[in-house]
Each structure stands twice: as C-alpha cells, then as structure tokens.
Amino acid sequence: MTGAAVRMAYDGIVACVPTTVPYRRFSINTAHWWIGRALHDLTREAGLKPAEIDGLILSSFTLGADSAVGVTQHLGLSPRWLDHVPLGGASGVIGLRRAARAVQAGDARFVACVAADTNHVDSFRKTLSTFSRFAQDAVYPYGSGGANGSFALITKNYMNKYGARREDFGKICVAQRHNALAIPFAMMKKPLTLDEYMSARPIADPLHLFDCVMPCAGAEAFLVCRESDARALGLKPVRLLATIERHNAFTEDTVQERGGWAMDIGELWQMAGVTPDRIDLVQTYDDYPVIVMMQFEDLGFCKKGEGPDFVRSHTFTADGSFPHNTSGGQLSTGQAGAAGGHLGITEAMRQLTDTPIGHRVKDADLAIVSGFGMINYDRGLSSGAAVLARAS
C-alpha cells in the first residue's frame, strides 16, 4: 500500500466554552461529581440545555466500573454520539480531533469534551499499581516508583545523550511556577527559585520534587461545534487548523528519546499552513520537564538534541520570548488525572479569545497544544498535537 489519503481540513469547526472546575488536592467526591459539575458549568456558560448536548466524549481514570455510557444515565444525558478516550494525557487533543470530525460529518451538533478525575487519599497508589497489564507485570514490582521511576530513566538517558542539565529542566519549572501564581486554584502557591528547584529533595534520580506533578482532583471541558452555531449562541470560538495523533512509535529506541510527534510533525504544519516560528504560544504536555524538552524538538521548534540549547536561549513566562504553559501547566497548577491533557487546550482557547484566567499572552493568534499519555511499560505510547487559531 502506498500513498496517504489527503486529509480534509476542519473548515467551519470550532472549539469554545473552555471550562475548568477549580482543582483541589484531595476530594471525597467521585469522578461522576466532577464530570457533572463540568457539564453543568459548560452548558450554563454556552446557554444550552443539557438535552441539547448531543455528543459526549469523556476521559477519566477514576470512574471505577463505569464508562462513558454509564455516565450518560448517571447525568441524564441522551447523546446520539458518544466516545470514551482512555489515553491519559493524549486524550485532550485526540478527543478534540474526534469531536471535530463528528461535528463536521453531521453525526453530532454540540459535542462536549470532558475530562475529570477525583483524587482520594489512596487513589494515586491504586491507579499506579493497576495502571496497565505491563505496568503490573513488569514495572510496579521494581521499586513501585510509579511514573517517577519510569521518567527518571527517560530523563537520565536524555541527559546522558544530549547534555541536558538539571538547571535546564529547572528553568522550565521555574517559569511555569511564575505563570501558575496568577491561577487562583493552582496547587502551587509560592514562587519557586532555581536554587529551591536544585536543592529540592530527590524522588528518583535525577528527578527531584519539582520535576514531578502534584496529583489532584479537577475537571476540564470544552465544546466543539460549527462556527455558525457558536456565533448564534454568542460564544467566542477558536478555529482548529490541524491535528495529529500517533501511538507506539519508534519501538526501536532502547530508551524513549522522542515521541510520536516526530513521525507526523511535517504533516501537522503542512495541514495548518503555518510554520513553527509563527506560533504565539505553546502548551506542551508537562508531566515531566524532559518531555517538554522533547516536545520542543519533536514539534519542530528545534532539532533533536537541541532542546537544552533551545531552553537556554529562551524565556518561558507568558511575557517571555517563548510563552509556554501559560497557566502553569500540570507541574505547578496540578495534574487532575486525565484532565491534565485538556489543561493546555482550555488555556490556549482562553488566550486566543482574550479571556485568560492568569497572565495574558500579547497578540496571541496562533497556538499549538500537544498531548502525551500512557506510560504502559517503559515509554509514553500516545501523542497528539493540534494547531489552534483565533477566529477573526
């Protein structure tokens, strides 16, 4: 088989109503509660009745025995299009692109994209130990460091191979903390200095405390519909220029040093019709700063191995030379389970509609959001990215 099919543009399809249910460190509520609250806020903001939501795409780790269909009955919804995306931090971008195609094809008119997770006192440990079959068979019994242990190995290997230093990762974390201080519900409330980053307690060498996200409870949601419908409802839309997704790429790499983005990035920029230098803000998936650095490379902002130099030559606050994770990202605002992959989307939408919660990026017209998820054995398997544009 040769020749890839030509991809259809997302003409006339928009995302709107970025919704965030303020995060909490621990919650005695269930994931259902957080989903319900997100849909409540989203429909109210959109001026839609719940019954008018005819498409739902859901991501959550903590629904217990339920899947998306159980949630429809729980919340009294009767959608004609339903999807469940269990792809962790890649769920946001992948949910967005599936929803966009559903609306474009006419299978649904208003698709609510929702990610929510609760965080009980013991749910993090339970999620880790039963995360996947490979995790159960081949990861958790080796020290039970969870994702920290796996990403420690990826980070160390990247440092060995490409000369990244802890200070480089620290620079990313410090900038994100600055961005998060303007977010009222961010888990992290205090400024972070590079010295504090460097001297934080070790978690799994070379990772230290501020390389790791804070698990929390929370929800993120947005609506995908036609631009004409958004306009009719008086909503501020954001256009979708291009998307990619990829799973289980580069199996030949002994240790992960690139994500699936690198396989499809040319297509992303071609479809978007822009080049990376035109981008005004970047929302990467920041479960660990090494993955951020890999995304700078794999999304085309610099070449493989140039991530450390790229970081040294830029500033990453909302007013910096390379505005990045402008709402603080998961590293400082918190990782609300599967909602971590939606955080960058809602933030980019807000910046492109001049409604940021925190610091504003000046003249923001184009954004890229990327997602990354599911460290099944030794590497993250799913990646995705989307280019979003201000609707003039």
Name the residues that contact another protein, by CB under 8 A: 124-125, 128-129, 133-134, 136-146, 148-149, 152-153, 156-157, 160, 201-207, 251, 254-255, 377-378
- Taking a C-beta distance cutoff of 8 angstroms, is the pair 237, 12 a contact? no
- Taking a C-beta distance cutoff of 8 angstroms, is the pair 294, 280 a contact? no
Least distance to another protein, CB of residue 200, Å: 12
Least distance to another protein, CB of residue 248, Å: 9
Single-letter residue type at 230 = A
Side-chain half-sphere exposure of 221, counting CA atoms within 13 A = 32
Tell me, letter by letter, the H, E, C secondary structure of 6-33.
CCCCCCCEEEEEEEEEEEECCCCCCHHH
Question: Please, which residue, 145 or 320, has the CB nearer to another protein?
Answer: 145
Among all chains, which residue has been given the structure tokens 């994931």?
Answer: 31
Least distance to another protein, CB of residue 209, Å: 9
Say what angle helices 343-352 and 91-105 make with each other, to 10 degrees.
Answer: 60
Question: Please, which residue, 160 or 275, has the CB nearer to another protein?
Answer: 160
Least distance to another protein, CB of residue 118, Å: 17
Question: Please, which residue, 208 or 239, has the CB nearer to another protein?
Answer: 208
Dihedral angle, C-alpha 96, 340, 58, 385, nearest 10 °: 20
Question: Please, which residue, 160 or 270, has the CB nearer to another protein?
Answer: 160
Question: Please, which residue, 257 or 280, has the CB nearer to another protein?
Answer: 257
Q: In a 3-state reduction of DSSP, which class is residue 22?
A: strand
Among all chains, which residue has been given the structure tokens 């959550």?
Answer: 60
Least distance to another protein, CB of residue 147, Å: 10
Least distance to another protein, CB of residue 157, Å: 4
Side-chain half-sphere exposure of 111, counting CA atoms within 13 A = 30
Least distance to another protein, CB of residue 130, Å: 8
Q: How far apart are CA 165 and CA 171, in angstroms?
A: 10
Question: Please, which residue, 165 or 278, has the CB nearer to another protein?
Answer: 165
Question: Please, which residue, 188 or 348, has the CB nearer to another protein?
Answer: 188
Q: Of 156, 163, 132, 170, whose CA–CA distance to 204 is shortest?
A: 156
Instruction: Count CB atoms within 10 A of the CB of residue 107.
Output: 14
* Backbone φ and ψ of 342, nearest 5°: -100, -15
Give me the count of residues in the chain: 392
Least distance to another protein, CB of residue 135, Å: 9
Strands 13-24 and 238-247: antiparallel
Question: Please, which residue, 129 or 315, has the CB nearer to another protein?
Answer: 129
